[in-house]
Amino acid sequence: MIEKLITIAGVDPVEVLGANDANLRLIRAHFPKLSIIARGDTLKVSGTDNDITQFEERFKQLVEHAARYNELPRKVLDDIMGTSSSPGERENPDEADVLVYGNAGLRVKARTRNQEKLVEAVETSDMVFAIGPAGTGKTYTAVALAVKALKERKVRRIVLTRPAVEAGENLGFLPGDLREKLDPYLQPLYDALREMIPASKLADHLDEGVIQIAPLAFMRGRTLDHAFVILDEAQNATMTQMKMFLTRMGRNAKFVITGDATQVDLPDRQPSGLLPVVNMLRNVEGVSVVELDEKDVIRHELVTKVLKAFRELEERNNENRK
């Protein structure tokens, strides 16, 4: 038996240990062979060297998550500490699962079973559709896979695109040139990249065209060879736009199309092309479809409850219409 002191740094200990030590009790349940005593920002851990080493590595991930998101949902705690309380989540994460080592020691990996399916699908298929509600990690996981492919020299460039659904007459009031007008619509893609690539290197990649971020309309006429291409928010693409985008695929290319069919923002009741295209291509060889749901939400726990409430409302409305 040995004893070790572990300090919680960079975040309020309450964010990690929970109000009234609620999280600490869950942490202890994951490591029943250890004695874990909290005093302020310090944990005193007693047990075997092997168990303490494993605990310290996983506890560090908890602290990193709390520092980054200012919260530590039960789902994330269970996932990181190594056992899952719901069937959708992964068990026993280890180093081999890391997709990308991001900034400040961030380790980007699939956090749920369906996110893992997305990783597997990209490995085996050249065109992958990831469909699911907000917060399920569709875009973030896809960007991580793109960065991984670039670092491993499997592709020469990353192309990220989204439909700028308000990039017509409503865009003119925004200040700046065209890029500055469009950047707000592409911001989530920049945010994901900034967590995975150092700022100076990201700037170089953007300047050199190794990473390209552009609205969907800018894809017309291009052939995308040796590229990892992500179409985000694809529910806001029409059938014609989907056809245009999917036929840009060149040699040695990976296409990942992400979208949430429940949040279509197309104007004038234009139908989304996402689900019709998914249904049309679902059984085509080389195409994979991964569906995510509320169990995959990594944001605040309330997001899962909000999504469930909206789904139940939609089901009731459908029943009433019938």
Residue 252 main-chain phi, psi, to 5 deg: 50, 50
What domains can you pick out in the chain, each with its CATH number?
Answer: 2-80 (3.30.1370.10), 95-299+306-321 (3.40.50.300)
Confidence of residue 90 (pLDDT cuts 50, 70, 90): very low
- For 158-191, b where at least 16 C-beta lie within 10 A, e where not — what string? bbbbbbbbebeeeeeeeeeeeeebbeebbebbee
CA distance 8 to 11: 7
pLDDT of residue 271: 92
Pair 193, 108: CB distance under 8 Å: no
* Amino acid present at 18: G
pLDDT exceeds 90 at position 266: no
14-58 pLDDT tens trace: 989 998 899 999 999 999 999 999 999 999 999 999 999 999 999
CA 155 to chain centre: 20
- Rounded-to-integer distance, Cα 4 and Cα 303, Å: 37
pTM of the model: 0.69
Question: What confidence score (pLDDT) does residue 173 get?
Answer: 52
DSSP state letters, 251-274: TT-EEEEEE-TT----STTPPPSH
For 187-218, write each residue's pLDDT tens digit.
Answer: 888 888 988 998 899 999 999 999 998 889 88
pLDDT of residue 167: 40
Q: How far is residue 120 CA from its own chain's centroid?
A: 15
Q: What's the pLDDT at 234?
A: 95
Comparing 105 with 103, which gets the higher pLDDT?
103
Q: What is the pLDDT of residue 163?
A: 87
Q: Are 193 and 147 in contact (CB under 8 A)?
A: yes
Mean pLDDT of all residues in the chain? Answer: 85
User: Sorting pLDDT into bands at 50, 70 and 90, what band is 134?
Assistant: confident
Contacts of 312 by beta carbon, 8 Å cutoff, 6+ apart: none
Mean pLDDT value of segment 107-121: 89
Q: What span, in angstroms and rounded, lies between the C-alpha atoms of 248 and 139? A: 20
Residues 6+ apart with CB under 8 A from 211: 150, 157, 158, 160, 193, 202, 205
pLDDT of residue 154: 95
Provide the phi-psi class of 64: left if phi over 0, else alpha when psi is between -120 and 50, else beta.
alpha
**pLDDT, greater one: 95 or 126:** 126
Residues 145-171 have pLDDT tens digits of 999 999 999 999 999 998 876 544 355
SS3 178: helix
